[in-house]
Amino acid sequence: MKFQATADGGTVFAVRVVPRAQKEAIQGEIGDALKVRLCAPPVDGAANAALVAFLAEKAGVPRSRVRIVSGATGRNKRVAIDGIAPAAAEARLLGKP
């Protein structure tokens, strides 16, 4: 898993989204991406909105700090979280000490 620092002090990382799941959860890693299961369908941006809300809650930041940098129309995305260091983002999202 590669959490990378951004120029403004945030973190960017890859996400693989699995829409229409039974429950929302971070399932682990798939290659260099974080595998995230979402209940929302991939229609009209519902899965993207659910992803932003889910990651914001897990990272403990407002939704306005989470944004999809690329891949908004596919399952593979690059997500940025502003105002949180890569080590802190990894610990919060993956539950690592």
How many domains does the structure of the chain reveal? 1
Range of the domain at 45: 4-94
pLDDT of residue 95: 84
Q: What is the CATH number of the domain that holds 12?
A: 3.30.1200.10
Distance of alpha carbon 20 from alpha carbon 46, whole angstroms: 11
pLDDT at residue 1 in the model: 66
Q: How far apart are CA 70 and CA 90, in angstroms?
A: 20
Tell me the pLDDT of the chain (97 aa) as tens digits. Answer: 699 999 888 999 999 999 999 999 999 999 999 999 999 999 999 999 999 999 999 999 999 999 999 999 999 999 999 999 999 999 999 987 6
pLDDT score recorded for residue 96: 74
Distances in whole angstroms, Cα of residue 7 to Cα of each of 49, 79, 80, 81, 86 = 25, 14, 11, 12, 12
- Could you identify the residue written with the tokens 């596919």? 74
pTM: 0.94
